Structure 1
Amino acid sequence: MCGGNQSEVTEFLLLGFKGLNKYKLLLFIILFFSYLVILTGNLLIIALVSTKDHLNIPMFFFLKHLALADVLISTTIIPMMLDAIVLEEKRVSVSGCMVQLYFFCIFGFVQCFLIAVMSYDRYLAICSPMYYNSMMHPRLCLQMVLGSWLLILLISFEMFLFLQLEFCGQNGIDHFFCDIGPLVKLATSDTCLLVLVDFIMCILVVFIPFALIIISYICIFFTIMTLPSVSGRKKAFSTCSSHLATVCTYYGTILMIYVVPLDDNLLNMNKFMSLLYIVVTPMMNPIIYSLRNPEIRRALQQIVRKFRDSN
């Protein structure tokens, strides 16, 4: 219970991008069209992989679910962010804030696991091509994807601890969404157990997958270096370059935001860095894979041809 003259917080005030009011129209337009690109690009990837037989391979099966996670995490954050930009601040109930945080964690952690699964797929394709088809069979691919989505069971315990927090007096969140750090900072009850559980969760669902990705790419690098021809090395590297670009973009921003401590004076920097994995990475993934992958390009060309012929 809140003591003294402090009242219990029933809603939070998302302050958004304070200090950028004169640029809010430009910021709104950029983010709005970025969201449209995210939806269009990722939904197109999902449709292509689901309908084109020649894309029915493990890598694209994982890519389809990564595209779905990209759409969901962006949809969880961006519409409320746009609302906050227009209103200059956004009021959200405590329960609504917790729901947003819950889904943000689910889709973010699912992305970590899917990116790790995709790196394992590239490892087998390059380092053990003889056994690739026998090991990456459809049943195993489905099990790995379902395992990634079932992270909801792990996250539920941490969210239960969040629901036990008390918030009294101050309710302003200097961010554009309900992130873990600002909520813990606002809490007036003991957060030691929550911080410990969050640290363990980060190790399990962020750093262990990242370590597996690093190990996979070390093995891939040494395997590629043993190939006798330059053309063979280029071809092998091209098969994992799109995924490597996704790894660098996603994990690079995650590590900078949640591992490197930022001073309170650099909160705006933290916000803009958050935009990298909430907006930029989901927007760039379809572009990276469609431009660098001949199978995706061929499927897009088939659709364009059919559209032209129908007209």
Structure 2
Amino acid sequence: MTNCSRVPGFILQGFSGIPELQTISVAFFLFVYIFSFFGNISIITAVTLDSHLHTPMYFFLKHLSLIDLCSTSTTLPRALFAAMAGSEFISLPECAAQLYVFVFCAATECFLITSMAYDRCLAIYHPLTYGSTMTQQFCCALVGVAWASGLLFSSFHTVNTFTLSFCDPLLEHFFCDLPPLFRLSCTDPHKHEAIGFAVSGCVIMSCFALTVLSYIQIVATVLRIQSTQGRQKAFSTCSSHLITVILFYGTGSSTYMRAANGYSPFQGRLAAIFYSILTPTLNPIIYSMRNKDMKAALRKLYLR
């Protein structure tokens, strides 16, 4: 019979169960974190200081970079410290806090991406009324709703997960994430998993549907533009955001829209590297490499 006594915490297995790969992984992800940290900080600073970037699109981008910075800082430093110092144990309250912040960041990013799609849709579909619609107050309201919704969504998932009992302390992951935690439950997690799946499905699919509808309207509008140069200019304003959408939904949905009994620790860690580390790291590159105004602002920032 399984011992269902509540464990005091978990032992994080890290990036890999193979010691040699663990050492290489630490060096690689330390470099990635430093790059992600300074990349997102640069975006936030450039948008704040450059008056030319005080527009709705860059206002949303600044908050997206802040969320990406929080997301990587929630998972990577703890995992890197555990691997280097040999302190793999994480207490139950620490694990709950890490899960709460990480899910909050992921959910808020989902709402921000939807707001950014709506902003691009209005800019291309209704350019004449764009300025009167996307006011500073309205942008702040959209960001406020995104942050508040992220807090509520994260609170639900944290409570839904940690009302379970855990009897196995070995967490085959490098941070406290939902799928591997469900696998460690010694009580039947199916009810909790079904409720979490339903709530996540409704929220994620609603945001995804609104984003897709925005891009359908964008594409339809761009195709009606007569000149090739005009079409390219219109589409270039949302191409960076489109890449972010593909990365975000393509990597995260493969893990969170799957049942716990079908979860593979190796595939879970691999997917988590993409949605929790690489995507937040790539966002500053995507927006700076494909945007002349952002490149000019970053150049000015570094020349100071």
Would the TM-score normalized by the shorter structure come out above 0.5? yes
1:13 is paired with a residue of what secondary structure? strand
Closer/same/farther in 2, CA of residues 157 and 23 from structure 1, 3 Å limit:
closer
- Asked if the contact 1:12–1:171 (Cα under 8 Å) also holds between the matched residues in 2, the reply is yes
Distance 2:23 2:190 in 1: 41
1:224 to 219, 222, 231: 222
Distance 1:92 1:227 in 2: 56
Which residue in the other structure is 1:159 paired with?
158
> Any residues of structure 2 matched to 1:195-234 within 5 Å, and which?
195-234=193-232
Distance 1:154 1:304 in 2: 38
1:177 to 175, 178, 188: 175
- Asked if the contact 2:161–2:192 (Cα under 8 Å) also holds between the matched residues in 1, the reply is yes
Distance 1:258 1:41 in 2: 27
Distance 1:193 1:265 in 2: 17
Q: What letter corresponds to residue 120 of structure 2 in structure 1?
A: R
Unaligned runs of 5+ in 1: none
- Asked if the contact 1:158–1:197 (Cα under 8 Å) also holds between the matched residues in 2, the reply is no
| TM-score normalised per structure 2 | 0.93
1:301 is paired with a residue of what secondary structure? helix
Count of residues in correspondence between the two structures: 303
Shift of 1:6: 5.1
| TM-score normalised per structure 1 | 0.91
2:42 is paired with a residue of what secondary structure? helix
Distance 1:159 1:300 in 2: 38
Q: What letter corresponds to residue 11 of structure 1 in structure 2?
A: G
When structure 1 is superposed on structure 2, of 16-25 and 295-304 the one drifting more is: 16-25
Which residue in the other structure is 1:143 paired with?
141
When structure 1 is superposed on structure 2, of 238-247 and 296-305 the one drifting more is: 296-305
% identical aligned pairs:
37
Deviation per residue, 1:112-133 (Å, 9 max, x gap)? 0001100001101111111111
2:146 is paired with a residue of what secondary structure? helix
Which residue in the other structure is 1:85 paired with?
83
Which residue in the other structure is 1:254 paired with?
252
Closer/same/farther in 2, CA of residues 195 and 304 from structure 1, 3 Å limit:
closer
Deviation per residue, 1:149-184 (Å, 9 max, x gap)? 11213432332233322123x211111111111212
1:227 is paired with a residue of what secondary structure? coil
Which residue in the other structure is 1:97 paired with?
95
Deviation per residue, 1:61-119 (Å, 9 max, x gap)? 00000000000011110012213433567111111111111111101100000011000
Distance 1:297 1:264 in 2: 43
1:32 to 30, 33, 49: 30
- Asked if the contact 2:121–2:218 (Cα under 8 Å) also holds between the matched residues in 1, the reply is yes
